[in-house]
Protein backbone atom coordinates (compact mmCIF):
# COMPACT_ATOMS: atom_id res chain seq x y z
CA UNK A 1 0.00 0.00 0.00
CA UNK A 2 1.23 3.47 -0.82
CA UNK A 3 1.34 6.35 1.61
CA UNK A 4 2.26 6.58 5.26
CA UNK A 5 -1.25 6.09 6.67
CA UNK A 6 -1.71 9.80 7.46
CA UNK A 7 -4.14 11.68 5.23
CA UNK A 8 -2.72 13.94 2.54
CA UNK A 9 -4.15 17.41 2.12
CA UNK A 10 -4.59 18.64 -1.45
CA UNK A 11 -4.94 22.26 -2.47
CA UNK A 12 -7.13 23.25 -5.41
CA UNK A 13 -5.57 23.81 -8.82
CA UNK A 14 -6.08 27.00 -10.76
CA UNK A 15 -4.21 30.24 -10.26
CA UNK A 16 -7.37 32.39 -10.17
CA UNK A 17 -8.97 31.01 -7.02
CA UNK A 18 -5.66 30.93 -5.16
CA UNK A 19 -4.88 34.50 -6.11
CA UNK A 20 -8.25 35.69 -4.88
CA UNK A 21 -8.24 33.80 -1.63
CA UNK A 22 -4.61 34.25 -0.67
CA UNK A 23 -4.02 37.85 -1.72
CA UNK A 24 -7.49 39.33 -1.44
CA UNK A 25 -7.38 40.51 -5.06
CA UNK A 26 -10.87 42.14 -4.96
CA UNK A 27 -9.57 44.48 -2.24
CA UNK A 28 -6.36 45.17 -4.13
CA UNK A 29 -8.06 46.56 -7.25
CA UNK A 30 -9.43 49.80 -5.71
CA UNK A 31 -6.09 50.33 -3.94
CA UNK A 32 -4.18 49.93 -7.23
CA UNK A 33 -6.66 52.28 -8.92
CA UNK A 34 -6.20 54.85 -6.14
CA UNK A 35 -2.41 54.70 -6.49
CA UNK A 36 -2.74 54.91 -10.29
CA UNK A 37 -4.88 58.04 -9.86
CA UNK A 38 -1.96 59.83 -8.20
CA UNK A 39 0.75 58.52 -10.50
CA UNK A 40 -0.97 58.45 -13.92
CA UNK A 41 -4.03 60.62 -13.32
CA UNK A 42 -7.71 59.83 -13.94
CA UNK A 43 -6.99 57.90 -17.12
CA UNK A 44 -4.55 55.59 -15.35
CA UNK A 45 -7.03 54.95 -12.53
CA UNK A 46 -9.78 54.12 -15.03
CA UNK A 47 -7.54 51.70 -16.91
CA UNK A 48 -6.60 50.00 -13.62
CA UNK A 49 -10.26 49.67 -12.62
CA UNK A 50 -11.32 48.28 -16.02
CA UNK A 51 -8.40 45.86 -16.09
CA UNK A 52 -9.23 44.71 -12.55
CA UNK A 53 -12.91 44.26 -13.43
CA UNK A 54 -11.97 42.21 -16.50
CA UNK A 55 -9.67 39.99 -14.44
CA UNK A 56 -12.42 39.38 -11.88
CA UNK A 57 -14.95 38.61 -14.61
CA UNK A 58 -12.57 36.06 -16.10
CA UNK A 59 -12.03 34.45 -12.70
CA UNK A 60 -15.78 34.15 -12.12
CA UNK A 61 -18.33 35.94 -9.99
CA UNK A 62 -18.96 32.95 -7.73
CA UNK A 63 -15.26 32.62 -6.99
CA UNK A 64 -15.15 36.30 -6.08
CA UNK A 65 -18.17 36.05 -3.77
CA UNK A 66 -16.77 32.95 -2.09
CA UNK A 67 -13.39 34.60 -1.58
CA UNK A 68 -14.92 37.25 0.71
CA UNK A 69 -16.49 34.74 3.10
CA UNK A 70 -14.64 31.45 2.76
CA UNK A 71 -11.05 30.32 2.85
CA UNK A 72 -9.61 28.07 0.19
CA UNK A 73 -11.19 24.60 0.01
CA UNK A 74 -9.01 21.59 0.81
CA UNK A 75 -9.39 17.91 0.10
CA UNK A 76 -7.98 15.27 2.43
CA UNK A 77 -7.25 11.94 0.79
CA UNK A 78 -6.35 8.81 2.79
CA UNK A 79 -3.10 8.14 0.88
CA UNK A 80 -0.96 9.94 -1.68
CA UNK A 81 -2.12 7.79 -4.59
CA UNK A 82 -5.22 5.78 -5.48
CA UNK A 83 -5.23 2.17 -6.61
CA UNK A 84 -7.52 0.87 -9.36
CA UNK A 85 -10.69 -0.56 -7.85
CA UNK A 86 -10.15 1.17 -4.50
CA UNK A 87 -13.01 2.85 -2.64
CA UNK A 88 -11.35 5.61 -0.63
CA UNK A 89 -13.23 8.24 1.33
CA UNK A 90 -12.11 11.81 0.67
CA UNK A 91 -12.80 14.65 3.09
CA UNK A 92 -13.85 18.07 1.80
CA UNK A 93 -12.89 20.91 4.16
CA UNK A 94 -13.79 24.58 3.80
CA UNK A 95 -13.11 27.06 6.59
CA UNK A 96 -15.06 30.30 6.96
CA UNK A 97 -13.37 33.64 7.50
CA UNK A 98 -15.97 34.49 10.18
CA UNK A 99 -18.10 32.05 12.24
CA UNK A 100 -21.40 31.25 10.53
CA UNK A 101 -24.18 28.68 10.68
CA UNK A 102 -24.08 25.93 8.10
CA UNK A 103 -27.49 24.80 6.94
CA UNK A 104 -28.42 21.65 5.06
CA UNK A 105 -26.02 21.08 2.18
CA UNK A 106 -24.53 18.50 -0.15
CA UNK A 107 -20.92 18.26 -1.30
CA UNK A 108 -20.49 16.75 -4.76
CA UNK A 109 -17.23 15.22 -5.98
CA UNK A 110 -16.82 14.44 -9.66
CA UNK A 111 -13.94 12.08 -10.36
CA UNK A 112 -12.69 12.35 -13.94
CA UNK A 113 -10.02 10.79 -16.10
CA UNK A 114 -8.82 12.75 -19.11
CA UNK A 115 -6.58 11.85 -22.01
CA UNK A 116 -4.57 14.69 -23.57
CA UNK A 117 -2.53 14.34 -26.75
CA UNK A 118 -0.46 16.77 -28.75
CA UNK A 119 0.54 16.39 -32.38
CA UNK A 120 2.32 18.40 -35.03
CA UNK A 121 0.20 19.72 -37.88
CA UNK A 122 2.41 21.58 -40.30
CA UNK A 123 4.37 24.00 -38.16
CA UNK A 124 1.71 24.14 -35.42
CA UNK A 125 1.29 21.94 -32.37
CA UNK A 126 -2.32 20.91 -31.83
CA UNK A 127 -3.76 19.64 -28.57
CA UNK A 128 -6.77 17.36 -28.15
CA UNK A 129 -8.45 16.29 -24.92
CA UNK A 130 -11.21 13.88 -24.05
CA UNK A 131 -12.71 12.76 -20.78
CA UNK A 132 -12.79 8.96 -20.76
CA UNK A 133 -14.33 8.50 -17.32
CA UNK A 134 -16.47 10.68 -15.09
CA UNK A 135 -18.57 9.81 -12.04
CA UNK A 136 -20.15 12.00 -9.38
CA UNK A 137 -20.31 11.05 -5.70
CA UNK A 138 -22.01 13.09 -3.02
CA UNK A 139 -22.44 13.30 0.73
CA UNK A 140 -24.14 15.70 3.13
CA UNK A 141 -21.91 18.44 4.48
CA UNK A 142 -21.82 19.22 8.19
CA UNK A 143 -20.97 22.44 9.99
CA UNK A 144 -17.91 22.43 12.26
CA UNK A 145 -16.27 25.04 14.45
CA UNK A 146 -14.11 26.03 11.49
CA UNK A 147 -16.67 25.86 8.70
CA UNK A 148 -17.87 23.01 6.51
CA UNK A 149 -16.79 19.38 6.27
CA UNK A 150 -17.97 16.34 4.31
CA UNK A 151 -16.74 12.75 3.97
CA UNK A 152 -17.39 11.42 0.47
CA UNK A 153 -16.73 7.79 -0.49
CA UNK A 154 -15.56 7.50 -4.10
CA UNK A 155 -14.88 4.55 -6.45
CA UNK A 156 -11.71 4.36 -8.54
CA UNK A 157 -12.87 2.32 -11.56
CA UNK A 158 -11.16 -0.65 -13.16
CA UNK A 159 -13.37 -0.18 -16.21
CA UNK A 160 -12.41 3.47 -16.78
CA UNK A 161 -9.28 5.28 -17.91
CA UNK A 162 -5.66 4.29 -17.56
CA UNK A 163 -3.64 4.88 -14.42
CA UNK A 164 -1.99 8.32 -14.54
CA UNK A 165 0.99 8.75 -16.84
CA UNK A 166 2.71 11.64 -18.51
CA UNK A 167 4.70 11.26 -21.70
CA UNK A 168 5.86 14.02 -24.02
CA UNK A 169 2.79 13.90 -26.29
CA UNK A 170 0.40 11.57 -24.48
CA UNK A 171 -0.93 12.13 -20.97
CA UNK A 172 -3.57 10.57 -18.76
CA UNK A 173 -4.58 12.62 -15.73
CA UNK A 174 -7.14 12.18 -12.96
CA UNK A 175 -8.79 14.94 -10.99
CA UNK A 176 -11.68 15.61 -8.62
CA UNK A 177 -14.01 18.58 -9.07
CA UNK A 178 -15.86 19.64 -5.93
CA UNK A 179 -18.94 21.79 -5.58
CA UNK A 180 -21.19 22.56 -2.61
CA UNK A 181 -24.96 22.89 -2.93
CA UNK A 182 -26.88 24.61 -0.16
CA UNK A 183 -28.28 27.90 1.10
CA UNK A 184 -25.63 30.57 1.76
CA UNK A 185 -22.74 28.34 0.78
CA UNK A 186 -19.97 29.00 -1.73
CA UNK A 187 -20.98 28.15 -5.30
CA UNK A 188 -17.47 28.10 -6.73
CA UNK A 189 -15.86 24.89 -8.01
CA UNK A 190 -12.45 23.51 -7.18
CA UNK A 191 -10.27 21.08 -9.01
CA UNK A 192 -7.90 18.74 -7.17
CA UNK A 193 -5.39 16.66 -9.12
CA UNK A 194 -4.97 13.07 -7.94
CA UNK A 195 -2.68 10.22 -8.96
CA UNK A 196 -3.96 6.76 -9.90
CA UNK A 197 -1.28 4.07 -9.89
CA UNK A 198 -1.14 0.81 -11.91
CA UNK A 199 -2.05 -1.37 -8.93
CA UNK A 200 -5.28 -3.32 -8.61
CA UNK A 201 -6.75 -2.88 -5.18
CA UNK A 202 -6.87 -6.25 -3.42
CA UNK A 203 -10.58 -6.93 -3.27
CA UNK A 204 -11.14 -10.11 -5.35
CA UNK A 205 -14.91 -10.19 -4.83
CA UNK A 206 -15.18 -6.70 -6.20
CA UNK A 207 -13.16 -7.54 -9.30
CA UNK A 208 -15.23 -10.63 -10.01
CA UNK A 209 -18.34 -8.49 -9.90
CA UNK A 210 -17.04 -6.16 -12.62
CA UNK B 1 11.54 -19.16 -35.55
CA UNK B 2 11.66 -16.57 -38.37
CA UNK B 3 13.99 -15.38 -41.12
CA UNK B 4 16.34 -13.86 -38.52
CA UNK B 5 16.79 -17.30 -37.03
CA UNK B 6 15.70 -16.06 -33.58
CA UNK B 7 13.33 -17.95 -31.33
CA UNK B 8 12.04 -16.09 -28.27
CA UNK B 9 10.07 -18.11 -25.75
CA UNK B 10 8.70 -16.30 -22.71
CA UNK B 11 7.47 -17.87 -19.49
CA UNK B 12 4.53 -15.41 -19.48
CA UNK B 13 3.16 -13.04 -22.08
CA UNK B 14 1.10 -11.14 -19.50
CA UNK B 15 3.36 -9.43 -16.97
CA UNK B 16 2.60 -7.17 -14.02
CA UNK B 17 4.36 -3.83 -13.52
CA UNK B 18 7.39 -4.19 -11.27
CA UNK B 19 7.82 -7.83 -12.26
CA UNK B 20 10.49 -9.53 -14.40
CA UNK B 21 10.07 -10.87 -17.91
CA UNK B 22 11.79 -14.24 -18.15
CA UNK B 23 12.27 -16.74 -20.93
CA UNK B 24 14.82 -18.03 -23.40
CA UNK B 25 16.36 -16.62 -26.54
CA UNK B 26 17.78 -19.03 -29.10
CA UNK B 27 19.47 -18.27 -32.40
CA UNK B 28 20.57 -21.09 -34.58
CA UNK B 29 24.06 -21.01 -36.23
CA UNK B 30 24.15 -19.51 -39.72
CA UNK B 31 27.73 -20.57 -40.55
CA UNK B 32 29.99 -23.44 -39.64
CA UNK B 33 32.35 -21.05 -37.82
CA UNK B 34 35.45 -22.68 -39.41
CA UNK B 35 35.43 -21.94 -43.13
CA UNK B 36 33.19 -18.94 -42.62
CA UNK B 37 32.45 -16.86 -39.51
CA UNK B 38 29.03 -15.37 -38.87
CA UNK B 39 28.55 -11.64 -39.48
CA UNK B 40 26.09 -11.46 -36.59
CA UNK B 41 27.94 -9.95 -33.64
CA UNK B 42 25.23 -9.75 -30.99
CA UNK B 43 21.49 -9.61 -30.34
CA UNK B 44 20.14 -6.68 -28.40
CA UNK B 45 16.83 -7.38 -26.69
CA UNK B 46 14.84 -4.40 -25.42
CA UNK B 47 11.50 -4.01 -23.67
CA UNK B 48 9.72 -1.10 -25.32
CA UNK B 49 6.44 0.74 -25.16
CA UNK B 50 4.89 2.76 -27.94
CA UNK B 51 1.88 5.03 -28.00
CA UNK B 52 -0.53 4.80 -30.91
CA UNK B 53 -3.46 7.11 -31.63
CA UNK B 54 -4.21 10.79 -32.24
CA UNK B 55 -1.09 12.17 -30.59
CA UNK B 56 2.45 12.05 -31.86
CA UNK B 57 4.09 8.74 -30.98
CA UNK B 58 6.07 8.39 -27.78
CA UNK B 59 8.30 5.36 -27.58
CA UNK B 60 11.01 4.27 -25.20
CA UNK B 61 13.10 1.26 -24.31
CA UNK B 62 12.78 0.73 -20.56
CA UNK B 63 15.04 -2.28 -20.16
CA UNK B 64 17.66 -3.90 -22.41
CA UNK B 65 19.79 -7.01 -22.48
CA UNK B 66 22.65 -7.95 -24.83
CA UNK B 67 23.52 -11.43 -26.04
CA UNK B 68 26.91 -11.76 -27.77
CA UNK B 69 26.84 -14.35 -30.56
CA UNK B 70 29.50 -17.00 -30.96
CA UNK B 71 31.47 -17.37 -34.20
CA UNK B 72 28.67 -19.49 -35.68
CA UNK B 73 26.19 -16.68 -34.98
CA UNK B 74 24.43 -18.77 -32.38
CA UNK B 75 22.96 -17.80 -29.00
CA UNK B 76 21.19 -19.79 -26.35
CA UNK B 77 20.55 -17.62 -23.31
CA UNK B 78 18.13 -16.75 -20.55
CA UNK B 79 16.03 -13.59 -20.87
CA UNK B 80 15.58 -11.45 -17.77
CA UNK B 81 14.18 -7.94 -18.16
CA UNK B 82 12.58 -5.67 -15.56
CA UNK B 83 9.20 -4.03 -16.11
CA UNK B 84 9.11 -0.57 -14.47
CA UNK B 85 6.80 -0.01 -11.52
CA UNK B 86 5.16 3.17 -12.71
CA UNK B 87 3.85 2.01 -16.08
CA UNK B 88 2.37 3.02 -18.43
CA UNK B 89 0.47 -0.24 -18.67
CA UNK B 90 -0.97 -1.69 -21.88
CA UNK B 91 -3.92 0.58 -22.55
CA UNK B 92 -6.69 0.88 -25.10
CA UNK B 93 -8.16 4.35 -24.65
CA UNK B 94 -10.00 6.77 -26.90
CA UNK B 95 -7.15 9.01 -28.02
CA UNK B 96 -4.27 6.93 -26.71
CA UNK B 97 -3.27 3.31 -26.96
CA UNK B 98 -0.15 1.99 -25.26
CA UNK B 99 1.47 -1.10 -26.73
CA UNK B 100 4.35 -3.08 -25.27
CA UNK B 101 6.73 -5.41 -27.11
CA UNK B 102 10.09 -7.10 -26.85
CA UNK B 103 12.32 -6.00 -29.72
CA UNK B 104 15.22 -8.19 -30.77
CA UNK B 105 17.77 -6.40 -32.94
CA UNK B 106 20.47 -8.33 -34.75
CA UNK B 107 23.79 -6.48 -34.84
CA UNK B 108 25.26 -7.51 -38.21
CA UNK B 109 28.69 -6.39 -39.31
CA UNK B 110 28.52 -3.80 -42.14
CA UNK B 111 24.80 -4.35 -42.75
CA UNK B 112 21.40 -3.04 -41.76
CA UNK B 113 20.27 -4.44 -38.39
CA UNK B 114 17.01 -6.37 -38.79
CA UNK B 115 14.46 -6.46 -35.96
CA UNK B 116 11.86 -8.84 -34.61
CA UNK B 117 9.01 -8.04 -32.22
CA UNK B 118 7.12 -10.09 -29.65
CA UNK B 119 3.96 -8.46 -28.28
CA UNK B 120 3.37 -8.38 -24.53
CA UNK B 121 0.62 -7.32 -22.19
CA UNK B 122 1.81 -5.20 -19.27
CA UNK B 123 -0.90 -5.13 -16.59
CA UNK B 124 -1.35 -3.49 -13.19
CA UNK B 125 0.12 -5.11 -10.08
CA UNK B 126 -2.27 -7.87 -8.86
CA UNK B 127 -3.77 -7.98 -12.37
CA UNK B 128 -2.09 -11.11 -13.74
CA UNK B 129 -5.15 -13.33 -13.37
CA UNK B 130 -7.61 -10.56 -14.24
CA UNK B 131 -6.40 -9.16 -17.56
CA UNK B 132 -6.43 -10.88 -20.93
CA UNK B 133 -6.31 -7.65 -22.94
CA UNK B 134 -5.17 -4.05 -22.42
CA UNK B 135 -6.70 -1.92 -19.66
CA UNK B 136 -9.52 -1.01 -19.02
CA UNK B 137 -11.47 -4.09 -18.04
CA UNK B 138 -14.85 -4.59 -19.66
CA UNK B 139 -17.74 -2.95 -17.74
User: Are B40 and B75 within 8 A, CB to CB?
Assistant: no
Considering only alpha carbons, which residue of chain B is nearest residue A161? B136
CB proximity B56 to A under 8 Å: yes
pLDDT for the residue A146 = 85
Which whole number is the average pLDDT over B95-112?
A: 92
Q: How many CB pairs below 8 Å do chains A and B form together?
A: 99
Average pLDDT over residues A87-108: 87
User: Can you give the pLDDT at residue A71?
Assistant: 84
Distance CA B113, CA B104 (A): 10
Q: Which chain A residues are Cβ-neighbours of B128 within 8 angstroms?
A: none
pLDDT in tens, A11-24: 887 655 555 555 55
Average pLDDT, chain A: 83
DSSP alpha helices (H): ranges in chain A? 15-23, 25-40, 42-59, 61-69, 204-209
- Residue-wise pLDDT tens digits, A144-195: 888 889 999 999 999 889 999 999 999 999 999 999 988 878 777 889 999 9
Cα–Cα dist B11/B15, whole Å: 10
pLDDT at B8: 93
How confident is the model over B29-72, as pLDDT tens digits? 887 666 777 888 899 999 999 999 999 999 999 999 999 988 88
Q: Is A105 helix (H, G, I), strand (E, B) or coil?
A: strand
pLDDT category at A2 given cuts 50, 70, 90 is very low
The more confidently predicted of residues A44 and A122 is A122
Domain boundaries, chain A: 19-67, 72-209
Contacts of A202 in chain B (CB under 8 A): 126
From the list A158, A169, A207, the residue facing B55 with the nearest CB is A169
Average pLDDT value for residue range A46-62: 74
In the structure, what pLDDT confidence band is assigned to residue A60 with cuts at 50, 70 and 90? low
> Cβ contacts (< 8 Å) between A132 and chain B: which residues?
93-94
The phi, psi pair for B97, rounded to 5°, reads: -125, 140
Positive or negative: CA dihedral A45, A50, A51, A52: positive
Strands A81-84 and A170-182: unpaired
Query: Is pLDDT above 60 for A86?
Result: yes
DSSP assignments along A15-70, one per residue:
HHHHHHHHH-HHHHHHHHHHHHHHHH-HHHHHHHHHHHHHHHHHH-HHHHHHHHHB
> Could you give the CA distance from residue A50 to residue A29 in angstroms, rounded to a whole number?
10
Confidence at residue A117, expressed as pLDDT on a 0 to 100 scale: 97
Name the pairing type of β-strands B75-82 and A165-166.
unpaired
The ipTM of this complex is 0.88
CB contact under 8 A, A200 and B124: yes
pLDDT tens digits along A100-156: 777 888 999 999 999 999 999 999 999 999 999 999 999 998 888 888 899 999 999
Pick the CATH number of A72-209 from 3.40.109.10, 3.40.50.880, 2.60.40.640, 1.20.81.30: 2.60.40.640
Mean pLDDT score of chain B: 90
Average pLDDT of the residues in A40-46? 82
Q: Which domains does chain B have, with CATH numbers?
A: 6-123 (2.60.40.640)
Which one is predicted more confidently, A67 or B66?
B66
- CB nearest A115 (choices: B89, B93, B137): B93
- pLDDT score at A210: 41
Substitution target in B96, B132, B134, B138 with the highest count of A β-carbons within 10 Å is B96
Please check the confidence at residue A208 and state whether its pLDDT lies above 50.
no
List Cβ neighbours of B79 (8 Å cut-off, separation of 6 or more): B8, B10, B21, B22, B23, B24, B25, B45, B65, B102
Is pLDDT at A74 greater than 70 in this prediction? yes
Please tell me which of the candidates A162, A167, A169 has its beta carbon nearest to residue B93: A162
pTM of the model: 0.81
Least Cα distance to B83 among B97, B102, B70 occurs for B102
Amino acid sequence: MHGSGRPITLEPQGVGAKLLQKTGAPMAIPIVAFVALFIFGLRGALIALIAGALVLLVLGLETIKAAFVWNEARLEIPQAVFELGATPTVRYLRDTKKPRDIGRCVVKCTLSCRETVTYRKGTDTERERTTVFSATFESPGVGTANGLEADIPIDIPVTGGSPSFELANNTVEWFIHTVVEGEGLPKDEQRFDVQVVPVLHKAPGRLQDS
Amino acid sequence: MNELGIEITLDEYVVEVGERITGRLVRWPDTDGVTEKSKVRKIELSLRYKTVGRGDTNTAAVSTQEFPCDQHGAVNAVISLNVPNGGPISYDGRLIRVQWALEARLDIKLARDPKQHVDLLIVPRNGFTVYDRPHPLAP
